[in-house]
Structure 1
Amino acid sequence: MTARPPAVPEATEYDLVVRSRRTVTSGGERAAAVAVRGGRIAALHGYTAPLTAAEDVDLRDLALLPGLVDTHVHVNEPGRTHWEGFATATRAAAAGGVTMIVDMPLNALPPTVDVPALDAKLNAAAGRCHVDVAFWGGAVPGNVKDLRPLHDRGVLGFKCFLSPSGVDEFPPLRPHEVRRAMEEIAAFDGLLLVHAEDPALLGDPGGPTYRHFLDSRPGAAERSAVEQVIALARETGARTHVLHISSADCLEPLAAAQADGVPVTAETCPHYLTLTAEEVPERDTSYKCCPPIRSAANRDRLWDGLARGVLSCVVSDHSPSTADLKVPDFAAAWGGVASLQVGLAAVWTEASRRGHGLADVARWMAAGPAALAGLPGKGAIEPGADADLVAFDPGAAVPVEAGRLHHRNPVTPYHGRTLRGAVLTTWLRGRPADGEPHGEFVFGER
């Protein structure tokens, strides 16, 4: 990157101009100068346009991406801040080109299942965020009465589990409870997010290896749960989003439901698109997550579902823990992958190998999640949007060292891998996001 002084310093028109011959907009890559004023994108000009600005940055042939939006992040604060907290998670996000996260209602203590719990989370996060943060609420047994108050306070939607969540304070919903939550959420046009695995088809790993663990959570459990969710969404009309699809067997019922107009969408995650069961080291439980990483053939089918639009988002499901909980036994270890900082590079590494471009990645990791969460000012380089921008070197080789990542605990399955693509600078509303935290809370419009 090179910086050029403004042509007329005493008559500054913009706060910041960022130029790139590879500016990624919703229409694809183009040469452009992105002009920023007051934290928003004021205009897109030609790459060589003579503009006056307090700062003018020329990326030349490096790419300029919209800031990524990650709608699936477990920050865990308050209560389990030793697993992850707002300061560390959002610093990792900024370093990875993510300028907006939406925090999951678990594994914080208390979980975000009522307004007082949301207030506790806001107090814990205040002044600590390096990127903008919004919040999901939780749908658990007995809290239907709390859903509308949480919605009115600005949570973007509600997450539930159909199978045990892994923490006792966030129990799953039974089918009749899912229906009741959907009816309530549909009444105020909210959004329900579902961890979809059918508990009747889940088993005990029965042994310590990855194969034991994988066999205990078959793709059939995901498909069965997805089919149940689709039927309830069709019946109630509730907008419904299926989280972290790992089994490609779910694509057929999802595609059919979407074609029928059922209001159901779905996401997948970098680890399902880049890692495979065949390569999981025998005792490396950093790979353990629920649902599990599956075969290379399954991975290929997920990419096809993403290309066809059946899957509309790629988000991290960043779910870290302390290293001692990742004991070298797949039956007992905590299930969660830590990848917030490396998700963009991981997806770009595999996407570019498969012939996809940066515009595809931006659609999956910025525009798609922003649309899901109802965040019209995020996830795009266009006039009026927040000036959330990422300078990205798509050709750089980046070795991953867990101890050098910014999330709290140095555990990730990407340790030792070399990924393609480096984030050079992240701007949050026109300001670099690598200094003092200036992230803001974002609430849903009511």
Structure 2
Amino acid sequence: MSSSATTIITSKRVMLSSEQAEPLPYTIHVNNETGKIVQIDQGYAPEKANIDSGNELIMPGIVDAHVHINQPGRTQWEGVVTASHAAAAGGVTTIIDMPLNCIPSTITTDALRLKEESFRDGMWVDVGTWGGVVPGNHPHLVPMLEAGARGFKCFLCDSGVEEFPPVNEAELRKAMTELKKKNGVLLFHAEMELPTPPPPSKSNSTDYQSFLDSRPAKMEETAIELVIRMCREFAPYVPCHIVHLSAASALPLIREAKKEGLPLTVETCFHYLTINSESIPEKATEYKCCPPIRDNENREKLWEGVLDGSIDFVVSDHSPCTPDLKLHPCCGGHGVKDGEEGDFLKAWGGIASVGIGLPLIWTEGQKRGLKLQDIIRLLSEKTAEHARLTHRKGKLAVGMDADMTVWSPEESIVITKDKIHFRNKLTPYAERNCQGLVLKTIVRGNVVYDAELQDKATGSTDACFSAQPLGQWISDPFQNGIKSQSRL
């Protein structure tokens, strides 16, 4: 058995990184004081271990680089305790919070510090944050990077909340001039209003098609053309990133930009890869998000982009709200005006999914040839690189944080309410059958979630979580992001 200064974790199946050809037996030694890996031995050694995972698969902890926690200010939508519980239950060891939907938006150093203080003592996984770019806040950007912001997000269209207005090209240029000083990464919500708005839909507003008609792929294509132009202008000093790509029709633009060597990266989301618009029921506003979920042909082309590397990684874009803002039939009329129930055009847009992405992408991905190496690359390594955390997160190696997802890729599950730990349980994935069960989540050597501790008699999962929040706020100085490559 290990000394009290070290925790030893062993399994017959360990994937240290995406470069490993197959799972192998390893024994991992963790310094309890630092939470860092100090030694990795080949071989399975249950007689030495504090944590014996047997035949369960251990891989690097998942880094979800796109989560809306909404705290402070809108914790009735989500809060750090429930968001980090949900993350932990899904094998996610690090989440990076978005700068909007909280009040105040994270657009100044003071707001960043307020968020950090608000999260204190409520994090079951490690948490960092993106800052935001809005009109006029460019003088705040470098100080925010120095205070630990991982980079910045902006909108090229209405964000949906008045605290976070969009920016135009002139404002982008001011912001990118500041970011150039520190090589700060800029994330774009890549939709733009078109000079000629789309014609009114012939569908009823309770039919998903009405919403899909209102946000055509051309909105994304137009915005991505601007992103690429700005990326080229400021290359290589301001890496640019497209969040939640929905329109596969923009992939040729993206591929050409990467071939050119521009520092451009792209993410898509679990919902765009696992849902198609044809399957969305009437009034099911839990499916509404911006940009929208498109048809199955589009979905298959996104999968092609994921598998060929045109799309760098996959995130949740967990963006919840209360059911009344979704105008959802489940409210039973509470908080919903007459005639607005199930109205896709008026409902809040955002999909709740933090902590349930691993079984979703594994289930759909296997049908298309996705392998364990791809899972690690898409959910751990590239998301850690995007958040400038490769010095700590994304792989299992000596000197890295001992963050691990322990799961059974073979085991089937059903996503039921007792397995959903975010605050508002309204999600398009309820009762979905999947493959891949998360069994333990380890953050810097600490078990923060253990599925085996579920109360079998009552079904309660309260005991599955560590008694104390063992996550930490990530305030590491921003890591230089310059690369001259077509792919992360």
Matches within 5 A, 1:56-67: 56-60=51-55, 62-67=56-61
Per-residue deviation at 1:50? Answer: 7.8
- 1:253 maps to what in 2? 253
Cα 1:444/1:399, change in 2 over 3 Å:
same
Which amino acid in structure 2 is aligned with residue 170 of structure 1? F
State the one-letter code of the partner of 2:144. Answer: L
In 2, Cα distance between equivalents of 1:441 and 1:169: 24
* Residues 87-142 of structure 1 deviation map (CA, whole Å, 9 limit, x = unaligned): 00001000011000110001000000001111111111001000001110000011
Aligned to 2:484: none
- How many angstroms does 1:308 deviate by? 1.4
Give the unaligned 5+ runs of structure 1. Answer: 1-5
Please name the residue that 1:40 is paired with: 36
Q: 1:301 is matched with which residue?
A: 301
Deviation at 1:22, TM superposition (A): 4.5
Who is 2:9 aligned against? 17
Equivalent residue, structure 2, for 1:84: 78
Of the candidates 155, 165, 173, which is equivalent to residue 171 of structure 1? 165
Provide, for residues 131-157 of structure 1, a one-character-per-residue CA deviation record: whole Å limited to 9, x for no partner: 001110000011111111111111010
Give me the whole-angstrom Cα distance separating, in 2, the residues matched to 1:204 and 1:443: 47
Call closer, same or farther: CA 1:34–1:223 in 2, change over 3 Å. Answer: farther
Mapped to 1, the partners of 2:163 and 2:239 lie a distance apart of: 25
Residue pairs, 1:81-160, within 5 angstroms: 81-160=75-154
Question: Structure 1's 12 and 404: CA in aligned 2 closer, same or farther, altered over 3 A?
Answer: closer
Q: Contact conserved, 2:10 with 2:51, CA < 8 A, in 1?
A: yes
1:282 Cα shift?
Answer: 1.2
Per the alignment, in what secondary structure is the counterpart of residue 306 of structure 2?
helix
CA contact (8 A) 1:402 1:412 kept: no
Aligned to 1:31: 24
Match of 1:3 in 2: none
Amino acid at match of 1:353: K
Deviations 1:300-350 (A, max 9, x none): 111111111111110110000001111111011110000002111100111
Any unmatched runs of 5+ in structure 2?
328-341, 449-464, 479-488
Query: Equivalent residue for 2:413?
Result: 398
Separation in structure 2 between the aligned mates of residue 172 and residue 50 of structure 1, nearest angstrom: 55
Give the Å deviation of 1:12.
6.9
Q: Deviations over 1:404-427 (max 9, x none)?
A: 411001110001211111100001
Match of 2:231 among 230, 233, 244: 233
Give the Cα–Cα distance (whole angstroms) in 1 for the partners of residues 217 and 156 of structure 2: 15
CA apart distance, 1:13: 8.1
Aligned runs of 1:404-419 on 2, under 5 Å?
Answer: 404-419=419-434
Equivalent residue pairs, number: 436
CA–CA separation in structure 1 for the residues paired with 2:418 and 2:347? 20
Amino acid at match of 1:438: L
Contact 2:18 2:374 in 1 (8 A): no
Instruction: Report the CA distance between 1:46 and its aligned residue.
Output: 2.0
Question: Which residue is equivalent to 2:321?
Answer: 321
Report what 1:346 is aligned to.
360
Question: 1:244 maps to which residue?
Answer: 244
Question: In the TM superposition, what is the alpha-carbon distance from 1:64 to its structure 2 partner?
Answer: 1.1
| 2:436 is aligned with 1:421 | yes
In structure 1, distance between residues paired with 2:418 and 2:215: 31
| C-alpha distance in 1 between matches for 2:27 and 2:277 | 42
How far residue 51 of structure 1 moved from its aligned partner, in angstroms, is 6.8
Change (3 A) 1:182 1:223: same
Q: Which moved more, 1:172-181 or 1:99-108?
A: 172-181
SS at match of 1:199: coil
Q: State the Cα deviation string for residues 189-246 of structure 1 (Å, max 9, x = none).
A: 1010000001126658655121010011111111111011100110122211000001
* 1:24–1:358 CA contact under 8 A, matched in 2: no
Aligned partners of 1:307, 1:72: CA distance in 2, in Å?
A: 20
Is contact 2:106-2:112 (8 Å) kept? yes
Correspondence 1:442 to 2:474? yes
Counterpart code for 2:227: V
In the alignment, the residues of structure 2 paired with residue 372 and residue 261 of structure 1 have an alpha-carbon distance, to the nearest angstrom, of: 17
Percent identity over the alignment is 42
CA distance in 2, matches of 1:334, 1:120: 26
2:297 & 2:259 partners in 1: Cα distance? Answer: 25
Structure-2 separation of matches of 1:402 and 1:157: 34
Q: 1:12 to 1:135 in 2, by over 3 A?
A: closer
| Structure 2 CA distance for partners of 1:388 and 1:204, relative to 1, 3 Å | farther
**2: CA distance between counterparts of 1:21 and 1:228?**
45
Amino acid at match of 1:215: D
How far off is 1:25 after superposition?
A: 2.2
Partner SS state of residue 149, structure 2:
coil
For 1:51 and 1:180, the matched residues in 2 are separated by: 60
**Mapped partners of 1:158, 1:48: distance in 2:** 43
Shift, 1:403, TM fit: 5.6
- Answer whether contact 2:18 2:372 (CA < 8 A) is retained: no
- CA RMSD for the aligned pairs? 1.7
